[in-house]
Structure 1
Amino acid sequence: MGFGRIFFFIFGFALLEVLVLAKVASLIGWPITIVATVVTALLGSYLFRRQGLETWIRLNQRMQQGDMPGQEMVEGIMLLLGGALLITPGFITDAVGFALLLPGSRRAMARKVIEKGTLQGFTTMQGGGFTYTQTRYTQHQQGANPFQQPPRQNHDGNVTIEGEAHRTDDR
């Protein structure tokens, strides 16, 4: 997506937000509209702190158990985005921000994001240490942690890492 498209998207979104604010203000009045935007920002700040702390606790628990906290990491990004949207004045950004901050909708959206993408992370190996994994999360893996797959070992018990290596000699 080029700079021009991003600029027109942001410009169009800001214009739409102003039009919605003006329409709401014409229905309920500007003082109430301004108070409503301030109240949503304060409520969003409170939700952001509360949900952020809960997500941070879950993330730490998963890491202490040796699991990759993919769900919690995606939720953390959504919390940051939701908090930023709620601070931004406007009713459309508030609606999206609250959807990202409320636990039920945020968790559902995070699961969808994880299902669509490739998860990357580090897993613990038998005997200690970590190994890098990249997993395409598919529908049949739903509910399972794709990072708990044991590393592939050859007949000698050594871990095999697939990929390409290129050596450049300094000679």
Structure 2
Amino acid sequence: MRLPLVLFILAPLLEIASLILVGQAIGVLWTLALVVFSAALGLFLLKQQGAGILQRLQEETRRGVDPGRELVHAALLVVAAFLLIVPGFVGDVIGLLLFVPQLRDLFWQILKPRIIVRSHFTQNEDHGRNGGFEAETVVDLDKDEFTREPRKDSPWNGPRIGRD
């Protein structure tokens, strides 16, 4: 419990010190430009790599594979983007390092024995024809076995402009 408290106190002090040192070395305007650039870079990298991770997570879920690795990668990308968005250069360096896939894999190897992912998926012979779900959870209905009726209280049933 003491380590998070120490990090909570030391991290802002390190960031302030890094801002002061960089500001003295390259000037205030260039330091501010770097802070804004790192925040924009964090948002851009999160958007670029985050979409790919979400696609891989959906694919693994559809195949019924343990999505633990992709979940850890996604969590680390969010932490990395947060570190880049928050002003300071120590967090920026750590954030940039977390965008390296090999480093995220190293974190996954360290965390893997401590993480248990529970799911309701099974491996099917049809390789995901049912989306990775067991056959008992799939309900297959014919057209005559269900009906669709519009809800009268739906907000989408308001007045129609340009129609009779």
**Structure 1 length-normalised TM:** 0.66
Cα separation, 1, equivalents of 2:47 and 2:109:
22
Distance 1:67 1:84, change over 3 A: same
Is contact 2:63–2:123 with CA below 8 Å preserved after alignment?
Answer: no
Cα separation, 2, equivalents of 1:62 and 1:42:
30
Q: 4+ residue stretches of structure 1 with deviation over 4 A?
A: 5-8
Cα deviation per residue 1:54-113 (whole Å; 9 max; x = unaligned)?
000001111111112110011111111111111100001101111122323223322322
Partner of 2:117: 120
Cα deviation per residue 1:17-62 (whole Å; 9 max; x = unaligned)?
1111111111111111110111111111110111110000001111
Equivalences, count? 127
The counterpart of 2:68, out of the listed 58, 63, 70, is: 70
Higher relative contact order (CA 8 A, sep 6+): 2
Matches within 5 A, 1:13-52: 13-52=11-50
Cα separation, 1, equivalents of 2:103 and 2:5:
29
Unaligned runs of 5+ in 1: 131-171
Cα separation, 2, equivalents of 1:64 and 1:6:
37
**Structure 2 length-normalised TM:** 0.69
Aligned-partner SS, 1:52: helix
Unaligned runs of 5+ in 2: 125-132, 137-164
The share of aligned pairs that are identical, in percent, is 28
Partner of 1:90: 88
Q: CA deviation at 1:6?
A: 4.3
Is contact 1:51–1:103 with CA below 8 Å preserved after alignment?
Answer: no
Is contact 2:42–2:84 with CA below 8 Å preserved after alignment?
Answer: yes
Distance 1:79 1:129, change over 3 A: farther
Q: CA deviation at 1:9?
A: 2.8
Moved more, 8-17 or 30-39: 8-17
Cα separation, 2, equivalents of 1:129 and 1:10:
49
Q: CA deviation at 1:8?
A: 4.3
Q: CA deviation at 1:7?
A: 4.5
